Amino acid sequence: MKTLKYFIQTAFLLSLILMIFDSCKTSLAIKEKTGSVLWSENCSRCHYSPDPEEYNDAQWDVIAMHMRVRTNLTQEESEKITRFLQDAN
Amino acid sequence: MKKLQHSQRFRNRIKLCALFILCAVSPALKAQEEQRKTVSTHGASVVTKSVIIGYAYSDFCISPRSDVKTNFTRIGFSPTMIWKLTDKLFFESQVEFNTDSGRITTVVEYAKLSYIYNKYITIGMGKILTPFGTYTERFEAPFIERLPNTPLGFRHLEDAPNIGPVGSEMGIDIRGGFQVGDAKMNYDLYVTNGARLNDGLHEPKLAGAIEYENFFDNNTNKAIGCRVGYLPFSNSSLEIGGSVNYSKAGDAKSVYKDILARAFSADISYQKAIIPMKTLLNIKGQINYLDVDKASYLNELGTAYSFDNTSDIYYVRISLRPALIKNKYLKKVELLGRYNSANFAKEALWGGLTTRTDIGLAYWLSVSTGLRVAYEFTNYADGTTGEIYLVRFVTGF
């Protein structure tokens, strides 16, 4: 069990180092991102994200508000993502 | 006695609320089903303003060392109603029915009315999931938590010490998110009823323990807390957060009335597609630290004692899922490892260090439905160990 514990902790540390290096690569500024990019980057941070077709436009409207309030997304991100979901379903 | 009657009354009230919500929900469910079929025009928000979501799960447990070796231990069902009342007003409420410890329990997990004041400020009030760290608010829902169990100490249990707020509390919060260059920040500020100190008069074994689900305040002091989250990269892959919570915990007018509980937390969340390995990497972690003023309590023999009342709990979880490969079975498999530690105040009657290692596997049938199995190995504070195999079937809807 001790080995397992050290394994999980070492993996955690290694991943931390990796993530710093990896994420330093520049990606587009948030302002320039499309709704679909923002959706793929933000909506699977906590859970796997349902496809746009899973809900209709009206339902996405309500869910987007729920997620904006729950996860503190910025208004701009939330609006772009909602538009993408409603256009793509 | 008074306390008992009070909690009985409270429970009855919650049951009534649950019944009321269920009655309200069933026609809505039907209507929603019909709307799903008929509404697809762009911007039809005028038609559907509420959505019923939620989750359900069922647990099975194998304990090789126990007398009862196999057990269907728990089912849970949580209908959740989310309601966009206007473009600025939003209501959310979740009722949970479960069979915790062999009893049927009904709880209002949260019920919160939020008002979007402007781009940066949303104000909410009600029974709120305390934004202390991230676990309770973001990852605890069983269709989101990828292991069939919760990290040690991060789930609210009756008669167990809380190391920082876990679960929900009555109060008010102000929250929002904004950009800082290419990075993002978000904040939550809140005032709640706050901590309640167990003075040990009724349960000497729990003297000095703190409980945060204080639905009816035991003193005039309110807890103040905040969490600040920072997402340094513009692809939002990493979020680190820090939280504090200050609260006087003793009953009004008692000798403990000035006892202060200070809780701190740090959390991390990272997810990334590792393209060469065709794998999704996901890391979550949180540490809570609680410092309660020193005080004198009576043990079971009536002797006074005091102790250094500081405790911490933490977990780190790593998962890998080869979701980008072609094999349609393997891509649904996720491997998980989590290390948990609960280090309770050493000299308290409830104190000591317990650690647990969880190794698990999730098989995803859809984005929110899956089968989870895990092996958990625990080192208890008294030097004994325990092992359990857990199976959970869960769906989010």
Q: A-contacting residues of B 35-74, CB under 8 Å? A: 35-36, 39-51, 53
Which B positions 162-201 lie with beta carbon below 8 A of chain A?
Answer: 175-179, 182, 184, 186-188
Helix (H, G, I), strand (E, B) or coil at B51: strand
Report whether B288 contacts B133 (CB < 8 A). Answer: yes
User: What value does the mean pLDDT take over residues B215-219?
Assistant: 85
pLDDT for B6 beyond 70:
no
| pLDDT value for A23 | 58
pTM: 0.87
What is the pLDDT, as a whole number, of residue B17? 44
- Give the domain ranges of chain B: 1-45, 78-332
DSSP result, B314-331: EEEEEEEE-TTSS-TTGG
CB contacts, 8 Å: B240 with chain A = none
* Binary contact (A23, B238; C-beta < 8 A): yes
Residue of chain B nearest A2, judged by CA positions: B357
Average pLDDT, chain B: 88
Contact between B168 and B223 under an 8 Å Cβ cutoff? The reply is: no
Minimal-distance CA residue of chain A relative to B174: A69
CB-based contact, B338 to chain A, within 8 Å: yes
Alpha-carbon B118 to chain mean position: 28
* Predicted local confidence at residue B323, as pLDDT: 95
The answer on pLDDT for B29 being more than 70 is no
Could you read off the pLDDT of B164-197 as tens digits, one per residue?
999 899 999 999 999 998 899 999 999 999 999 9
Chain B: give the shortest CA distance to residue A47, in Å.
Answer: 5
- With an 8 Å Cβ cutoff, are B40 and A75 in contact? no
CA–CA separation, B380 vs B99, rounded Å? 25
User: Six-digit token pair at B365?
Assistant: 């049938």
Query: Element (H or E) spanning B102, and its range?
Result: none
- Any A CB within 8 A of B238 CB: yes
A8 or B163, which is more confident: B163
Confidence of residue B251 (pLDDT cuts 50, 70, 90): confident
Instruction: Please report residues of A whose CB lies closer than 8 A to that of B285.
Output: 12
For residues B235-256, give the mean pLDDT. Answer: 93
Q: Which positions in chain B touch A45 (Cβ < 8 Å)? A: 236, 239, 269, 271
Alpha helices in chain B (DSSP H): 2-38
Q: Is B388 exposed, middle or buried (0-12, 13-18, 19+ CB in 10 A)?
A: buried
Mean pLDDT of A44-69: 95
Task: Identify all chain B residues contacting A16, using CB atoms and an 8 Å cutoff.
Answer: 268, 270, 283
B396 neighbourhood in chain A, CB within 8 Å: 47
Taking the C-alpha atoms of residue B51 and residue A61, their distance in angstroms, rounded to an integer, is: 10
CB-based contact B177 A73, cutoff 8 Å: yes
CATH topology of domain A34-89: Cytochrome Bc1 Complex; Chain D, domain 2 (1.10.760)
In chain A, where are the structural domains located? 1-32, 34-89
Residue of B nearest to A7 (CA): B337
Q: How far is A46 from chain B, CA to nearest CA, in Å?
A: 7
**Chain A residues close to B281, C-beta within 8 Å:** 15
Q: Is the pLDDT of residue B93 over 70?
A: yes
pLDDT in tens, B354-385: 999 999 999 999 999 999 999 999 999 999 99
Query: Is the separation of the CB atoms in A72 and A45 below 8 Å?
Result: no
Distance of CA A69 to the CA centre of its chain: 15
Judged by CB atoms within 8 Å, which residues 28-57 of A form the interface with B?
28-31, 41-42, 44-51, 55-57
Of A1, A56, A58, the CB nearest to B357: A1
Task: List the 125-164 stretch of B: residues with Cβ below 8 A of A.
Answer: 137-139, 141, 143-144
- Closest-CA distance of chain B to residue A37, Å: 9
DSSP type of residue A56: -
Give the ipTM: 0.84
Better-scored residue on pLDDT, B217 or B102: B217
User: Chain B: nearest CA to A45, how far in angstroms?
Assistant: 7
DSSP 3-state of B30: helix
Which candidate in A15, A42, A48 is best for mutational testing of the B interface (most B CBs within 10 A)? Answer: A48
Q: How far is CA B7 from CA B4, B13, B14, B168, B208, in A?
A: 5, 10, 10, 16, 21
Contacts with A24 from chain B: Cβ below 8 Å: 233
Exposure string for B15-32, b = 16+ CB within 10 A, e = fewer: eeebeebeeebeebeeeb
Mean pLDDT for A46-69 is 95
- Taking only the tens place, the pLDDT of each residue in B36-55 is 434 444 444 445 688 999 99
> What's the CA gap between B253 and B367, in Å, rounded?
52
Task: Please write the tens of the pLDDT for every residue from B103-159.
Answer: 899 999 999 999 999 999 999 999 999 999 999 999 999 999 999 999 999 988 877
Higher pLDDT: B42 or B343? It is B343
Query: Angle at Cα B82 formed by Cα B130 and Cα A43, nearest 5°?
Result: 75
Cα of A50 to nearest chain B Cα, Å: 6
Q: How far apart are CA A40 and CA B273, in angstroms?
A: 11
A17 touches chain B (CB under 8 A): no
Closest to B229 (Cβ–Cβ): which among A9, A66, A72? A72
User: What part of A 60-79 touches B (C-beta under 8 Å)?
Assistant: 61-63, 65-66, 69-76
Q: What is the number of other CB atoms lying within 10 angstroms of the CB of residue B66?
A: 13
